[in-house]
Structure 1
């Protein structure tokens, strides 16, 4: 059994799960401090219902994927590309936003709880909603990634479950047993891994889009012009529909479906057939989103505004 497809889902659910576990732990600790332990049941209800809702979203996406498979190759490929683009956008935003707001996470959550528990009649529902949306947000991003990669089956699901289990264990170590872990370093390492995985998803999304355009181009002669690289730029032996000339072909040396290609594919987005547009998009994404991520690690803005120095003598 090839377990490489479990790596991305494990990394994502581990990171997302630890973020959710931090919020749950902060809420529980604050309720203990405020002597509102009677509201703990609402916390666990929010966790349970949030996980169930995430599972239902996954089932819905799986059904959409199944229906797309019966609607035609082009529909299926364009749907895969759409899921991939949404996953790229959501995970990239989450990566940068969380890094920029990690320092104030505890303060923000505690402020939300403080205002919630003041409303005695609705305090339980307020706590439930806070936890529920935190869990669903993390679950939705994970499910969207799985749908974007079209990684259906047992192995990716096992990776996701393992990630949730490890995240739960880290949460227990932090808040129940008082183990001191360097959370900042953890999120930095996981963020770098996530950045590489999402960069690979850019390559995957373009591959799906190219396959969809290729399927449309074969419908009739009028649609053949959609594959403009078939008639321009690329040589016949290495041409592709909209991805341009081939950069490399390692299908015989290191296939993406076999070790170690499968590991590189899972972690770095490696493909044994890489085309020019994919290579450009991959590096543009790494430079822009990766640059914004590392700038946020340093607490800086990607494009800081510089003020002109003023002359104090005037």
Structure 2
């Protein structure tokens, strides 16, 4: 549940922020009629991501081999996602504004479809990453727990995105993405470990005693240690961000 919450919160926040920036840009430039294209693009992207996630989860449940492969794909996706956000995060607004600016200059329905396609691409990219990560978790998680974590993560992402739009610079998104990046990379390490666990179950790794290592890894992949790791992936960055916020607030109060 907690791993699902972390993934959907972070990736959902990126998607919601993209939609928020796009909507604000269209309103600022007097192109409110194209906001419907943004909403439609968001809906199609979310639906497509859910279908992809279900498909990948079904493939992963076929055998430990596929579960291990999906875990490695998800780990690589996490690393790419963190690197991409560190590189492009500061320029996200300019990228969205530039893309929408070109699309909205087209005539009539062409502008609508251009904006729709642009949002599908931008949000769909986040959706594909999320689907790959969640599919890797599906084999070792109950559907009820994943649903709870996913709904909670999306709700929190929507709340933070709304707060950013409503209160602007008082929400430090740069710090949020920097802190969560550390724990997303830790999550990637756990996914690699999970792949190792699945591969040793079918004696796929040469040169080692696969049975011994599979038994040794079980508490860390599916037991109590895995559960504690999932909790810490959410609790640790939350405490970190809260402490940093309180320290900043205290510093501002002392400066008054």
TM-score by length of 1: 0.66
Q: 1:45 aligns with which of 36, 40, 48?
A: 40
Report deviation, 1:179: 6.7
Match of 1:170 in 2: 160
Q: Following the alignment from structure 2 to structure 1, what is the Cα–Cα distance between the partners of residues 86 and 16?
A: 16
Q: Which residue of structure 1 aligns with residue 250 of structure 2? A: none
Select the residue among 5, 9, 26 that pairs with 1:10: 5
How far apart, CA to CA, are the structure 2 residues paired with 1:249 and 1:60?
27
2:111 aligned with 1:123, yes or no?
yes
TM-score by length of 2: 0.80
Show CA shifts across 1:46-102 (max 9, x none).
111111111111222233245x1xxxxxxx111011101111111111101111111
What's the CA shift string for 1:283-303, capped at 9, x where partnerless? xxxxxxxxxxxxxxxxxxxxx
Question: 1:118: how far off?
Answer: 0.9
Q: 2:99 aligns with which of 109, 112, 116?
A: 112
- Separation (CA, whole Å) in 1 of partners of 2:154 and 2:230: 22
* Whole-angstrom distance in 1 between the partners of 2:218 and 2:59: 33
Superposed displacement of residue 243, structure 1: 5.4
Q: d(CA) in 2 for partners of 1:86 and 1:241?
A: 24
The CA deviation at 1:159 is 0.6
User: Which gives a bigger RCO, structure 1 or 2 (Cα 8 Å, sep 6+)?
Assistant: 2
**Equivalence for 2:240:** none
Q: Hey, what's the Cα distance between the residues in 2 that align with 1:249 and 1:203?
A: 8
* Structure 2, gaps ≥5 residues long: 234-256
Residue 14 (structure 2) aligns with: 19
Partner SS, residue 171 of structure 2: coil
Report the Cα distance in structure 2 between the residues aligned to 1:256 and 1:85, rounded to whole angstroms. Answer: 17
Secondary structure of 1:228's match? coil
Partner residue in 1 for 2:85: 98
Aligned length: 230
Taking structure 1 as reference, are residues 145 and 242 closer, same or farther at Cα in structure 2, changes over 3 Å only? farther
For structure 1, list consecutive stretches of 5 or more residues without a partner in the other structure.
1-5, 69-75, 215-225, 231-239, 269-314
C-alpha separation between the residues in 2 aligned to 1:161 and 1:126? 30
Contact 1:17 1:168 (C-alpha < 8 Å) held by counterparts: yes
Find the aligned partners of 1:11 and 1:255 in 2 and give their Cα distance: 18
Judge conservation of contact 2:193–2:221 (CA < 8 Å) in 1. Answer: no
Higher helix share: 2
Matched residue, 2:207 = 228
Q: CA RMSD in A?
A: 2.6
Question: Residue 229 of structure 2 aligns with which residue?
Answer: 264
What is the distance in 2 between the residues matched to 1:249 and 1:112?
A: 47
Sort the Cα spacing of 1:106 and 1:227 in 2 relative to 1 into closer, same or farther, 3 A: closer
Q: CA deviation at 1:139?
A: 2.0
The residue that corresponds to 2:128 in the other structure is 140
Q: Distance in 2 between matches of 1:249 and 1:33?
A: 55
